[in-house]
Copies of this chain bind each other. A is one copy, B any other.
Amino acid sequence: MIRVLGVDPGLTRCGVGVVEVAADRRARLVHVTVVRTPPDMALEQRLVRIAAGVGAAMDEFRPDAVAVERVFAQANVRTVMGTAQAAGLALHAAASRSIPVTLHTPSEVKAAISGYGNADKKQVATMVARVLGLAEAPKPADASDALALAICHAWRVGAPTEAGARAVTLTPAQRAWREAERSVVSRRLGG
């Protein structure tokens, strides 16, 4: 059993979701929330509020691991700086509490959840609801994205074990995805 806290970083809406995932991959919802800050608030006050909200969830739910969405500079330049800053605060909040923290790309999350790296937001939200046994997908999208990150982390990385082995098994889709990743790495290494 691993408890993972996922963060979908953002200045206006920062999704925070906590799940517990068993070794047989079954997952249950522990907590989900969205930290919001008004666009007309001073940037530094927004950052203080986001760090406080994310940190409070870490303190209350004491996750074994934190997963944060990797932000790319290629995205909308108007919002990407704030998103990077929110992600940085989430990384800092986890590391300063000695909680292991990992970045996952949006395609890693989509592939882990739906078996398909280009799944759209609605497909991801539907799969999150199904995986967690919820009647409907948590809203807004930032909430279900944070849960998807947490589930993705548990399924891909699993609980830390003494031998460093993976503590969870993979679905066929995830196995295919991991094989594809490995072949990319081998090709890069000239293998």
Interface on A for B, CB 8 Å cutoff? 42-45, 47-48, 51, 71, 73-74, 77, 80-81, 84-89, 91-92, 94-96, 101, 103
- From known contacts A71-B81, A73-B73, A77-B74, infer whether A48 and B87 are also in contact, taking CB-CB under 8 Å: no
Measured CB to CB, the closest approach of chain B to A97, in angstroms, equals: 10
Whole-angstrom CA separation of A103 from B82 in the bound complex: 14
Best-buried of A43, A45, A94 by chain B (most CB within 10 Å): A43
A103: chain B residues within 8 A (beta carbon): 43
Nearest Cβ on chain B to A127's Cβ, whole angstroms: 28
The chain B residue sitting closest to A71, CB to CB, is B81
Minimum CB–CB distance for A49 against chain B, Å: 10
Give chain B residues whose Cβ lies under 8 Å from the Cβ of A94: 44
What CA separation (Å) do A103 and B84 show in the bound complex? Answer: 17
Chain B residue numbers with a CB within 8 Å of A77 are 73-74
Beta-carbon contact of B89 and A88 below 8 Å = yes
Query: In whole Å, how far is A107's beta carbon from the nearest beta carbon of chain B?
Result: 18
Shortest 7 CB-CB distances between A and B: which pairs?
A85-B88, A44-B95, A73-B77, A44-B91, A84-B84, A47-B92, A81-B84
Decide if B81 touches A47 in the complex (CB within 8 Å).
Answer: no
